Amino acid sequence: MTDKGRPATGAEHPICIAVDWGTTRFRAHLVAEDGRLIDSIASDDGMSSVTDGGFEAVLSRMCAVWFGRFPGIPVLMAGMVGSRNGWREVPYVPCPAGLSEIAAGLVSFDIAGGSRIHIVPGLTTDDAAADVMRGEETQILGVGVGDTVVILPGTHSKWAIVRAGRVETFRTFMTGEFYSLLTHHSVLRLLAEPATDDLAARAASRLGVEAAAGDGGLLNLAFHARTGVLAGRLKPQDVEPYLSGLLIGEEIAKAKRLVPPDLPLVLVASGVIANHYREAIEAMGGIVNTVDPERTFVDGLLRIAHHNKETADVRAR
């Protein structure tokens, strides 16, 4: 990856700008012909902070250097930018769906300066329970495996069943949002203190994972974060990691009942969250391979573009 603003030359000639535009964050990558990331930028200009239809203004400001050096460069986007409250609403594609169906659902339009925007559609299910995703479908296609269960942790974690490269169905778990609610707005926050010791935090997280596998259920076991401190079984610094482990363990336990046991697990995550999920899955008897979320996002965008007639010249890896 180059220093910000350095011109791309030779093998680093860019073919597109790849944008992951979520509810709270904006991320963009300048992508080379061979799929490498030449440069990257990020900000807190998520969809929820863009007012008065100012999406083009945000994009132009954030990518001004790139647009100046490479006029007319195409822009591939995925995420909440295609939602009802986004730049342009892109209809969901019903599952099962693969590259062909998702690529056919791209919505494209021009902006000032000559660049053309292409926004990826999200996915929806209408089987046992209606569900939706935006952005994760691109990462799933970027994983590039035939038959698997793809796990995408986050505020709203996704577990997707993929066969022959097509997303059959998926389920959403509000793990990250529940963690925020419990640690910021519930009675459990009153005895909590910030974790300062990594080893102690990991031990408390493991206690939460083990608790999730037992009896009592989430509504009962969450309260143990308070009673555990009162009884001296937990320290105030253990409350948040215990709740994190409990919620992740609850997600994994319930999700494993909904996905085929014969399919391998692929975790799209990095850093601390990847470690937490991997350790929890292994503690519950599973095996998981981890892939980089940024790489899978860009690879997914390139593969989708390659299957759309208008964007087929944007080569896939």
* pLDDT of residue 292 exceeding 60: yes
Q: What is the pLDDT of residues 81-134, one digit of tens each?
A: 999 999 999 999 999 999 999 999 999 999 999 999 999 999 999 877 799 999
Q: Which long-range contacts (CB under 8 A, 24 or more apart) does 157-162 make?
A: 157/251, 158/133, 159/255, 159/258, 159/259, 160/133, 160/136, 161/259, 161/260, 161/263
Same domain, 137 and 179: no
| Domain CATH code at residue 273 | 3.30.420.310
pLDDT on residue 149: 98
Residue 155 lies in a domain: no
Same domain, 133 and 188: no
Average pLDDT over residues 185-211: 96
Average pLDDT over residues 217-223: 96
pLDDT on residue 312: 67
Mean pLDDT for the chain overall: 93
Same domain, 23 and 136: yes
User: Measured between alpha carbons, how far is 204 from 192 in angstroms, rounded to an integer?
Assistant: 13
pLDDT on residue 308: 84
pLDDT on residue 53: 85
CB atoms within 10 A of CB 310: 13
Residue 151 lies in a domain: no
User: Measured between alpha carbons, how far is 124 from 94 in angstroms, rounded to an integer?
Assistant: 5
* pLDDT of residue 210 exceeding 70: yes
User: Measured between alpha carbons, how far is 28 from 83 in angstroms, rounded to an integer?
Assistant: 18
Q: What is the pLDDT of residues 42-58, one digit of tens each?
A: 999 999 999 888 999 99
**Number of structural domains in the chain:** 2
Residue 80 lies in a domain: yes
What token pair was written down for 94? 């019903």
- Percent of the chain surpassing pLDDT 70: 94
pLDDT on residue 6: 45
Per-position b or e across 267-302, b if 16+ CB within 10 A of its CB = bbbeeebbebbbbbbebbeeebebbebbbbbbbbbb
Same domain, 275 and 184: yes
Average pLDDT over residues 199-214: 95
Distances (CA, A) of 303 to 95, 98, 137, 140: 18, 11, 12, 11
* CA nearest to 141, candidates 177, 93, 175, 174: 93
pLDDT on residue 316: 46
User: Is there a contact between 242 and 204 (Cβ–Cβ < 8 Å)?
Assistant: yes
Same domain, 136 and 179: no
pLDDT on residue 86: 96
Same domain, 255 and 184: yes
By CB atoms closer than 10 A (0-12, 13-18, 19+), residue 124 is middle
Q: What is the pLDDT of residues 144-193, one digit of tens each?
A: 878 999 999 999 999 999 999 999 999 999 999 999 999 999 999 999 99
Q: With cut-offs at 50, 70 and 90, classify the pLDDT of residue 315.
A: low
Give me the numbers of helices (H) and strands (E) for the chain, helices first please: 11, 14
Average pLDDT over residues 199-208: 96
* pLDDT of residue 310 exceeding 90: no
Domain extent, residue 36, equals: 10-143+297-311
User: Is there a contact between 137 and 95 (Cβ–Cβ < 8 Å)?
Assistant: no
Residue 157 lies in a domain: no
Same domain, 269 and 304: no
Same domain, 134 and 92: yes
